[in-house]
């Protein structure tokens, strides 16, 4: 009898440990340390507060949905629905998690102006399946690249269906792309490397493209399901 009771106690303890380990309480939340460092949540895990369509309209469930603490673009629509933050940002550090489905294509854009979808883009892509990974030059359309401009190096995306950690740093002209704890791209907008890439890119006719200092954060709907969560930002 004592052995049975002990087994029951151990089972209860184990279930409690598992519940704590997988509970979503830490998702879309700021720690006390993060609050002290000036971080803010751009997505509350509950609704579309702080986000709108590129045209400035309020978001409704449909092409995007909030489910299980994630902001998910459903894909499968003939016309996409890109979304942007209501606020604009200048110098900042952005972190988030992103989960792809097979063949997915999305992007995290910055320096976005109202009603204009063109801007710097941290590419989000299933490099193994989506054909866009083989387009462009030297891998500049693969995951974590500066889309159609500069390739990311030594990237290690998580398997499809797992969460990737993204970090983006914008400090004046200096920009860094990070993926899963590794810095995979760093450049200066006024540097030779960027200027040469810009002249060969699809954006070369846009004279103000690299001069923008402030803009919205933009999440792209490119026709496939992609999920975002833990979207946090702090001013630098």
pLDDT digits (tens, 9 = 90+) for 100-143: 999 999 999 999 998 889 999 999 999 999 999 999 999 999 99
What are the structural domain ranges in the chain? 27-235
- Contact criterion met (CB below 8 Å) for 102 and 128: no
Q: Which fold has domain 27-235?
A: Jelly Rolls (2.60.120)
Q: What is the pLDDT of residue 129?
A: 96
Rounded Cα gap, residues 9 and 23, in angstroms: 21
DSSP 146: B
Angstrom CA distances, 117 to 47, 126, 218, stand at 23, 21, 8
**Arithmetic mean of pLDDT, 144-166:** 98
pLDDT digits (tens, 9 = 90+) for 20-37: 444 455 899 999 999 999
Q: Which of 57, 55, 75 is nearest to 65 (CA)?
A: 75
Q: Which of 152, 154, 140, 143 is nearest to 198 (CA)?
A: 140
Exposure on the CB side of residue 62, measured as CA atoms within 13 A = 11
**Arithmetic mean of pLDDT, 46-69:** 92
């Amino acid at each position: 009898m004592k052995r049975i009771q002990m087994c029951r106690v151990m089972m209860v303890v184990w279930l409690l440990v598992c519940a704590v380990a997988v509970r979503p309480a830490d998702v879309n939340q700021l720690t006390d340390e993060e609050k002290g460092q000036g971080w803010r949540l751009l997505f509350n895990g509950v609704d579309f507060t702080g986000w709108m369509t590129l045209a400035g309209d309020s978001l409704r469930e449909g092409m995007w949905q909030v489910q299980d603490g994630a902001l998910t673009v459903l894909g499968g629509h003939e016309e996409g629905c890109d979304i942007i933050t209501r606020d604009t940002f200048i110098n900042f550090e952005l972190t988030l998690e992103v989960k792809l489905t097979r063949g997915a294509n999305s992007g995290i854009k910055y320096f976005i102006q109202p009603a204009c979808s063109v801007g710097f883009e941290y590419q989000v892509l299933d490099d193994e399946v989506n054909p866009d990974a083989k387009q462009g030059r030297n891998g500049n359309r693969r995951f974590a690249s500066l889309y159609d401009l500069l390739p990311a190096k030594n990237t290690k995306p998580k398997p499809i269906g797992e969460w990737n950690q993204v970090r983006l740093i914008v400090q004046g002209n200096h920009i860094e792309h990070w993926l899963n704890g590794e810095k995979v791209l760093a450049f200066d907008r006024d540097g030779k490397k960027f200027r040469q890439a810009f002249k060969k890119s699809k954006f070369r006719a846009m004279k103000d493209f690299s001069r923008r200092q402030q803009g919205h954060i933009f999440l792209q709907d490119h026709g496939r399901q992609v999920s975002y969560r833990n979207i946090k930002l702090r001013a630098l």
